[in-house]
Amino acid sequence: MVTTNPQEIFPGKLLILAPHMDDEVLACGGTIAQLPQKERIQVVYATDGAMSPVPPGCLSDLPPEALPDIRIKEALEAMGRLGVPATNLHFWGFPDARLQDYAAPLRRRLGDLIDELQPDQLLVPFRYDRHPDHLALHRAALAVAEGLERPEIVEYFVYYRWQLLPGKDLRRFIPPKKLWPVDISGQAELKQQALQCYRSQTTCFYPWQTRAILPPARVEEVSRDPEIFLRYDTRQPGAAVFDRARTWIRLVHRLEPRLKVWKDRLLHRSRKNGVPDGSAA
């Protein structure tokens, strides 16, 4: 794979839109680490992060409202590891998992920030990321940037592993010439350190958890593999960016999140009944 110098992709002022605290490191941590002049990098965290993991109340040593504050502190620590100033982090606090319900205020706030910062590029979640908050933030970015000469929109990938796709990697269905892969092998250890700052995501943070939100294999994968970016082209909206299997991708995009919800519910019931995870799969 031919990789790209991140400074060539992001030469100017960069505004990164993260639905949750950790998305920016998962998708862009190695790239952030390589970019010079970190003061030109700004990061927006759109939601309060209160739903990952979902605090079970009576089973937790912490009140549910504590998780957003914890995740803010984790983001400050993670970005500090990567060299981004704390003053460049924006915590908007929209309700986690409900960002689509706040489309109008989200767009207003984003528009105001773009007017203030005048970024050259806007780094946003990929249009087919499966999480509804990722999709809502992508739509907001497109709406605000429509008709503007700047900023240029560049997409990043978080939910690219799809079990129902051949090869299980959504990025394989995009022509390689459209993608910008960034080699982060020299930043792998630093990216892992930044991700480990998100202890609420990389450990069994609550006593009731049997696995971390981001298990070690996932952390290792995203710290080892190239980070891949896609310049948004208005001539290829939606599924037009794929070179094959467009109908199947649209179907799987709707189906896989529902299957995951059913699986999670089954696992939850099994754990309550004392059945090991392997028996519930």
Q: Rounded to whole angstroms, how far apart are CA atoms 184 and 241?
A: 25
pLDDT band at 281 (very low <50, low <70, confident <90, very high): very low
Q: Rounded to whole angstroms, how far apart are CA atoms 87 and 140?
A: 23
pLDDT at 18 over 50: yes
- Evaluate whether the domain defined by 6-244 bears CATH number 3.40.50.10320: yes
| DSSP 8-state code for residue 271 | H
Q: Which residue has the higher pLDDT, 9 or 260?
A: 9
pLDDT band at 272 (very low <50, low <70, confident <90, very high): low
For residue 100, the model assigns a pLDDT of: 96
Q: Which residue has the higher pLDDT, 196 or 2?
A: 196
pLDDT at 232 over 70: yes
For residue 278, the model assigns a pLDDT of: 37
pLDDT band at 42 (very low <50, low <70, confident <90, very high): very high
Under 8 Å between Cβ of 84 and 32: yes
pLDDT at 36 over 60: yes
Edge-first strand order for the sheet with 121-125 is 89-94, 41-47, 14-18, 121-125, 152-156, 227-231, 179-182
Q: Taking residues 21-39, what's their average pLDDT? A: 99
For residue 25, the model assigns a pLDDT of: 99
For residue 165, the model assigns a pLDDT of: 92
CB count, 10 Å around CB of 266?
13
Q: Rounded to whole angstroms, how far apart are CA atoms 4 and 246?
A: 27
For residue 55, the model assigns a pLDDT of: 56
Q: Rounded to whole angstroms, how far apart are CA atoms 272 and 22?
A: 29
Q: Taking residues 135-156, what's their average pLDDT? A: 96
Phi and psi at 264, nearest 5°, equal -65, -40
pLDDT in tens, 50-109: 999 875 554 555 555 689 999 999 999 999 999 999 999 999 999 999 999 999 999 999
For residue 279, the model assigns a pLDDT of: 33
For residue 276, the model assigns a pLDDT of: 43
pLDDT band at 270 (very low <50, low <70, confident <90, very high): low
Tell the residue number behind the tokens 């630093």, with chain if given: 190
Angle at 197 between CA 78 and CA 29, to 5 degrees: 45
Under 8 Å between Cβ of 190 and 33: yes
Q: Taking residues 182-188, what's their average pLDDT? A: 98
For residue 65, the model assigns a pLDDT of: 66
91-117 burial, b at 16+ Cβ within 10 Å, e below that, comes to bbebebbebeebeeebbebbeebbeeb
For residue 274, the model assigns a pLDDT of: 55
Encoded amino acid at 182, one letter: V
Share of the chain above pLDDT 70, in %: 88
Pairing between β-strand 227-231 and β-strand 121-125 as defined by DSSP bridges? unpaired
**pTM (predicted TM-score):** 0.91
For residue 54, the model assigns a pLDDT of: 76
- Which residues are paired to 18 by β-bridges? 45
pLDDT band at 206 (very low <50, low <70, confident <90, very high): confident
Rounded to the nearest integer, the mean pLDDT of the chain is 91
pLDDT at 26 over 60: yes
- Can you say whether the dihedral through the CA atoms of 138, 221, 167, 4 is positive or negative? positive
For residue 218, the model assigns a pLDDT of: 98
Each domain of the chain, given as residue ranges in start order, spans: 6-244, 245-281
